[in-house]
Every structure is written in C-alpha cells, then in structure tokens.
Chain A
Amino acid sequence: MHQDLVDAVKAHPRYQELICSRKCFAWNLTVLMLAMYYGFIMVIAFAPKLLGTPLSEGAVTTVGIPVGVVIIIAAFILTGIYVYKANGKFDDLTRTIREDLQ
C-alpha cells in the first residue's frame, strides 16, 4: 500500500470515527465476556457451594445449571450484537471512506 493512500485514509474524518468507535465497542464486549467467564471461574474456585444451591426448596436443579446455560447463550448473543453493529455502522463508515478515496 502506498504511503500517500495510507495518509489519505488517516486524514479522512470518518476513519478516526471508525477506529475509535470500533475499538471502544469491541473492548467493551471483550471485557463483558471476560468478566462473565472469570466471574464464573472465581465462583467455582472460591465459592463452589453457591452454584450447588437448589433453585427452589426441594428442587434438584441447582443454580449452576441456568448460570452455565446463560453464559453459553450470552456468548452467542454478544457475538450477534457485534455482527449487527459491525455489518451496519462499521461497514457503512468503511464504505464511505473507500468511496471518498476512489
């Protein structure tokens, strides 16, 4: 890639918007996922009994079962949220930059 093209892209106002918003968004989601997973691991490591509490009086199903299933579903939903935003907003910004430079 030529240096002048690189400079042109960097000078484009939408480019800064693209990298800032994508960076914030991606790292926020990353931190959310890491917090959920390591929160879960910490509970297993330090308070495993918590996950073994029955859901209600006399029930066999423990709190840990829905918690685990929710983490699995949350992982899927978070990727979905990212795809939705990236395929919409981020791709629009990228397209604008490309069209302006052509």
Chain B
Amino acid sequence: MKRYATWGVLFALLTPFMLAAAPALSGAVEQQALNLTAIYMFVAFVAGTLGITYWAAKRTRTASDFYTAGGGITGFQNGLAIAGDYMSAASFLGISGLVFSSGYDGLIYSIGFLVGWPIIMFLIAEQIRNLGKFTFADVSSYRFGQTQIRTMAAISSLVVVSFYLIAQMVGAGKLIQLLFGLDYWIAVVLVGILMMIYVIFGGMTATTWVQIIKAVLLLCGATFMAGSALYYFGFSPEEMFRQAVEAHPKAAAIMSPGSLVKDPINAISLGLALMFGTAGLPHILMRFFTVPDAKEARKSVFYATGFIGYFYILTFIIGFAAIVLLAQHPEFFKPAALAADGSVLKDQLVTGINGGTNMVAIRLAEAVGGNLFLGFISAVAFATILAVVSGLTLAGASAISHDLYANVIARGRSNETTEIRVSKYATFGLGLVAIGLGIVFEKQNVAFMVGLAFAIAASANFPVLIASIFWSKMTTRGALIGGFAGLISAVVLTVLSKAVWGDVFGNVGADGKPVGLIFLDNPAIISIPVSFVCIWFFSRFDYSERAKIDRAAYDAQRVRCETGIGAEGSSGH
C-alpha cells in the first residue's frame, strides 16, 4: 500500500509541472502551443509504464533481477528491446531530417548503424552471454586482474554513458519544448525523475518493458506514416522520388551520395566508429544477459537486426515523402519562407521549416494523420527518450555498483543486498547528474557527443572485449594499457576535431569558419588501431607473473565461451 501512495504522490507532483508550463508560452520563440492531445497520450504512456514498474518492483529481489530481469526475457522480447535502445529519438527524428535535407546521405548513415549488428552476432553475442553475468566488464575481465580491468571498463562505460546521456537529455529538453510546449528545464527534470523511478524501483525488468512498449508503438507509428505516404504516391517509389526531386532545392543531387562524406579517410573512419561502436556500447551489451542462454542471445540479434533494418527503411521513406508533402503545407514554415501567394518557396524548403529539420517526421505525422496522430507521434518521441535514458542509466549504475563497488572496492566480498542498494544510489546520483548537465549544456552544441560516445565504445570497449575473447596471449597489462590508450586517443582526437575545437571552443580559420586542428571528424580510424596495437605490444612483451596466470586461464575461458558449460549459474536459473 505504501508503494501505491508513493506513486500517487509522484503523479500528483508531476501533473502541475505539465500545467504550469502554459503561462510560459508567450515568451519563448520556438515553443509550440501546449499540445493537449500529445500530453494526454503521454500521460497514458507514463501511467501504463508506472503500472509496469510497480509490477516489476514486486518481482525485483535479487541482483540478477535488478541487473538482468532474472535472465527471463525471451529472444524475441530482447530483440525488440535492443531495437528500442537503438531507435532513439535521435535516429528517428535525426535520420528522417537528414534524408529530408540531403536525401541519399541519410541512407548511408542508417546502413552504418545497422551493419554493426551482424558483426555482433558472429563474433560476440553468444560469447558474451556464455562468459558474463551482469556487465560487459564481466567478460573483458574474465581471466584478468579484476581490480585493474574492471576499473578501466567501468571508467570507459561511465564516460560513454555520460556523453550519450547528456546528448539525450539536451535533445529531450529541446524536443519536448517543441512538441509539448513545456519549458526546457521542466522537460529535463521530468525525464530525469521518470527515468529514476523506472530504474530504481523496476530495475532491468521495468527498463526492458518500457523499451519494448515504446519499440512497438514507434514501429507501428512509423509504419502508418510510411504507408500513408506511399499510398499518396500510388505505392510507387519512383513516383515519390520524381516528385521529391522536383520539390527539393538540391534537385537530382538528393538521389546520390552528397556532402556528408567529404573524403575517403573520413568516410572509413565514420564507418568504423558506427560499426564497432555498437559492439562496445555498455547499455546494448548488457541486454545479452537478460536472456537465459546463447540460443536466445542469437535470436535476439536476429530479431533486432530485422526490426532496426525495417525501421531505417521506414525513416528513409518518411524523409523523402516529407520533401513532397510538407511543401504543400505552408503553415509548417516560417513566414519568410513563403512566396507572395502563400506557397512555400522552393529554395526555403529545408532552411525555412519551423523548428528545424529534426521536426520533419513530426510535421509529416500531422500532414498524414491530423492532430490525433501528431499527438501520438509526439508522445512516442517523448517515450523514446525516456526508454533510452533509462537503459543508459541502468548500464552506468551497474558499472558503479557491480564493477567498481562489488568487485573492486569490496573485492567480491559484498552481499547482494548491499550491491543492489549501491546501484539504486548510483542510479539516483546519475539521474541528478544527468538533470544537472542537461540544464548546464542547454545552449551548448552537443552534436559531437553521440559521435564521441560511439568512438570511445569502438576504441576502448570493443578492442579489449574482442581480444579477450579471441586472443589467448593477451594479458592484464595489455588489456589495461590498450583500453586506456583507445579511450584517451578517442577523447583527445575528438577535442582537436572541428566539432569541438571549432564549433564548441570557437576557433576559426582565415575564412572565419570554425576549424579543427586535425582534419578527422571521427577519431576511430586512428584510435581503434592505437588500442589494438597497445594490446598486442604490451601483452606480447609482458613477462610478469600475472601474465602467466592470464595466459594459462584462456583454455578454461575458451571452453566456457564455446560450449556454455559453467555458464548456467550466471543467470540464476
């Protein structure tokens, strides 16, 4: 009964937040009129997910329940949840916006995000399931010195999670401001509080189900949008492309690779970061521990790849259809973008849209489905952010409680109750940090942060993980130095790149445009090899006593990794 009362109080606290936003409407420039349909639908989503959290809280007793939903998620459910983690608001709104403004370039991005999945499947999915328990550090530290490798893995996890989280929080604040007409800070606080509730009370069970529900809603919504758009073109892609080329200021250029990829080196570097970054994201890797065995782990990647691929094809259709359909709706554009007769000026199509190109999918929802569907898609976009930040926070909290606290500070001698308590405090702490940084970074350019998170995941987590699974001669020293070398080189090179050195620090070149000290936009092409070379070099020439233990332990690790023998205990079932 006490829990019911807590929910009631929280709900009562949250409602006025939403209503209090109304008077603030007049001031802000970009803020929309308070969208009541969207708010009702969102409240329904929140009520539903809080109900699930209550149900999940009753089932969350052990550490295994908290971190991995007791290992009781099926492959299909986990596939949906993984797809949900991947279909963030950034990929839904960002990629459809990218297709709207540059056409084909959007597809290049989507493909880069998708092709990491087969690689995960072939090389690490079932290996991770067989070797690990709660976090990916369980795998990368399996036969190595626990203190060093777990500390390193926890630090890189927390750095990845923090950058990803800040980018999501800032995006959330701005998006919700646009969609719901709420103030920026209220949106950030609201996201932070709801996320803390899901994770602290419901653990992985609630986080997974929130993600699954949102994935289903988003897939249904996007299918309806792409379907109605195609219906308009008589289900002929050729007709859609033809009208899009006519309506777009870049004309036929939108049908071929454009300016997104400047030169071969940057193209390959971006490709590396997207592909291998996926295989090093802590919140994604953690999902492999929620299924009971290697078989379900494989199935989850298969379903996830299918859902993500399908979703990217939908966003591509949505972006192209929006070029044609939004041009017929002058009310979506700024007054300056309109001709004397009230129609949209062709050269203003991309730059003149209200709220920027990130709003393209939302506007198309309104164009094809009216106010009700606009409300639905807005609520889904909000739900998407909530679900993604919950997964990220849980992964960050696990790195603190399971890796740093239980295995480094308490050296494996803590009990489960304490460990769960630490992870709940950690969630609370991360939630406060996310809210704080979300507000601090409101006016900052955070575009580089997701790229940086992927680059660090690809350069610090992925090389250590893959080498520890496949290379028998790797040692603790090699893993430690290799991991930190990848982490540091990725961060330093990003700071020197145009996105930070120029856009954030304001260094400009002779022509007055922001410049970087190096020409690379994404550090992966340098930082991934740096990490692998360090792992090889410092393992190869490691003659310490510890190195002998590390190498001798490989056989046992390999047997468990390949056959799953000895892994049964890991899920607690």
Please name all residues of chain B whose beta carbon is closer than 8 Å to the beta carbon of A98 when the two chains form the complex.
563, 565
Say if the beta carbon of B451 comes within 8 Å of chain A.
Answer: no
Please name all residues of chain A whose beta carbon is closer than 8 Å to the beta carbon of B268 when the two chains form the complex.
38, 41, 45
Residues A94 and B564 in contact, CB atoms below 8 Å apart? yes
Q: Which of B115, B252, B564 is A75 in contact with, Cβ under 8 Å?
A: B115
Residues B122 and A64 in contact, CB atoms below 8 Å apart? no
B 107-135 binary contact with A (CB < 8 Å = 1; else 0): 11011101101110111001000000000
* Nearest chain B CB to A31 CB, angstrom units: 10
Please name all residues of chain B whose beta carbon is closer than 8 Å to the beta carbon of A34 when the two chains form the complex.
119
Say if the beta carbon of B261 comes within 8 Å of chain A.
Answer: yes
Residues A48 and B559 in contact, CB atoms below 8 Å apart? no
Say if the beta carbon of B498 comes within 8 Å of chain A.
Answer: no
Asked, given contacts A6-B559, A75-B118, A98-B563, whether A37 binds B305 with beta carbons under 8 Å apart, the answer is no
Asked, given contacts A1-B556, A37-B271, A72-B309, whether A29 binds B255 with beta carbons under 8 Å apart, the answer is no
Q: Bin chain B's interface residue count.
A: 35 or more
Residues A5 and B565 in contact, CB atoms below 8 Å apart? yes
| Smallest CB gap from A86: residue in B | B298
Q: Which of A22, A49, A51, A91 is B104 in contact with, Cβ under 8 Å?
A: A51
Please name all residues of chain B whose beta carbon is closer than 8 Å to the beta carbon of A65 when the two chains form the complex.
104, 107, 237, 241, 255
Say if the beta carbon of B257 comes within 8 Å of chain A.
Answer: yes
Per DSSP, chain A at the interface is helix
Task: List residues of chain B with CB under 8 Å of any chain A CB.
Answer: 104, 107-108, 110-112, 114-115, 117-119, 121-123, 126, 237-238, 241-242, 245, 252, 255-258, 261, 263-264, 267-268, 271, 275, 295, 298-299, 301-302, 305-306, 309, 312-313, 555-556, 558-560, 562-566
Task: List residues of chain A with CB under 8 Å of any chain B CB.
Answer: 1, 3, 5-6, 9-10, 15, 18-19, 22, 26-27, 29-30, 33-34, 36-38, 40-42, 44-46, 48-49, 51-52, 59-62, 64-65, 68-69, 71-73, 75-76, 78-80, 82-83, 86-87, 91, 94, 97-98, 101
| Smallest CB gap from B244: residue in A | A60
* Nearest chain B CB to A32 CB, angstrom units: 9
Docked CA distance A25–B245 (Å)? 43
Please name all residues of chain A whose beta carbon is closer than 8 Å to the beta carbon of B563 when the two chains form the complex.
9, 15, 18, 94, 97-98
Docked CA distance A35–B482 (Å)? 26
Residues A22 and B562 in contact, CB atoms below 8 Å apart? yes
Docked CA distance A37–B104 (Å)? 16
| Smallest CB gap from B104: residue in A | A64
* Nearest chain A CB to B139 CB, angstrom units: 15
* Nearest chain B CB to A79 CB, angstrom units: 5
